[in-house]
């Protein structure tokens, strides 16, 4: 079985967020324990598994995502990576529909090679910063929002871009503050650089101290910053060491995430299910 490593939310190899992608030929997923073993072996923030569905249904492919430690409800960059593989290998054209734990998702390919994902918008709820959060994160929050069931993060607004970039969290302490992790964000210092807001994503609760570029986080960042800026179409920079851009478009209960992807490894999985 072929396994591919795809850098998502970037147009350059060795940047953005790498994801493992396995397209299964079976009509159902193998045992979750086996999928988890493979994801742990791949040891990237996410490995995506997809299998085709019968024609005529509401979706074309069933999709699941695993970190090295657990299965998750929603993942943007590994969905982008999966759609990229489907299109570049001729398995799909136009719009691809996926069914996943978080519901129906779609991906639409564009002539320039970029892809737009259609994801549910995170339902934000403002909260008081829990005791110890500032110490664990290493910065004082300006505001804190819960991001809802499928993401399970705290969205933490910080004072400025420099504060976000300088964060060095205590991951063991941060793990106690949300189900998945913490999204730290601030407005861009200089929007002329091509982005409106900056973020970083820390997810020790699912075995990822820092994620390079988190598509699912932008389903919360989009409504947060669209409300602040009064614009529905924005660009976010996730300022990890690898870095990557996510173009966001708020469409009510849905958020569109646009980015590019590059396949960097195409190999063979030498084991059976």
Active site residue 41: no
The Cα–Cα gap between 30 and 22 comes to: 12
Count CB neighbours of 251 within 10 A: 12
Chain centroid to Cα 240, Å, comes to: 13
The Cα–Cα gap between 132 and 142 comes to: 14
Q: Which residues of 119-130 are buried (b: 16+ CB within 10 A; e: fewer)?
A: bbbbbbeeeebe
The Cα–Cα gap between 238 and 243 comes to: 6
Cα pseudo-dihedral 131, 132, 134, 136, rounded to 10: -150
SS3 state at 228: helix
SS3 state at 161: helix
**25, 37, 41, 46: which one is catalytic?**
46
The residues carrying an active-site annotation are 46
């Amino acid at each position: 079985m072929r396994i591919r490593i795809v850098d998502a939310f970037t147009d350059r190899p060795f940047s953005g967020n790498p994801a493992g992608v396995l397209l299964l030929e079976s009509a159902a997923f193998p045992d979750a324990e086996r999928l988890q073993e493979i994801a742990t072996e791949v040891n990237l923030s996410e490995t995506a598994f997809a299998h085709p569905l019968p024609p005529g249904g509401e979706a074309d492919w069933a999709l699941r995502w695993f970190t090295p430690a657990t299965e998750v409800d929603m993942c943007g960059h590994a969905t982008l990576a999966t759609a990229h593989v489907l299109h570049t290998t001729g398995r799909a054209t136009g719009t691809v529909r996926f069914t996943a734990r978080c519901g129906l998702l779609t991906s639409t390919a564009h002539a320039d090679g970029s892809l737009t994902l259609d994801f549910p918008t995170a339902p934000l709820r403002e909260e008081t910063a829990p005791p110890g959060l500032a110490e664990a994160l290493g910065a004082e929050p300006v505001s804190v929002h819960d991001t809802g069931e499928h993401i399970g993060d705290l969205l933490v607004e910080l004072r400025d871009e420099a504060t976000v970039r300088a964060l060095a969290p205590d991951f063991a302490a941060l793990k106690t503050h949300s189900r998945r992790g913490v999204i730290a964000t601030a407005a861009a210092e200089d929007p002329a650089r091509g982005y409106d807001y900056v973020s970083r994503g820390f997810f020790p609760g699912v075995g990822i101290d820092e994620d390079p570029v988190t598509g699912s986080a932008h389903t919360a960042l989009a409504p947060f910053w669209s409300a602040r800026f009064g614009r529905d179409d924005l660009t976010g920079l996730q300022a990890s060491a690898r870095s990557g851009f996510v173009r966001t478009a708020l469409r009510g209960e849905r958020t569109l995430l646009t980015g590019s992807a590059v396949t960097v490894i195409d190999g063979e999985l030498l084991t059976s299910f």
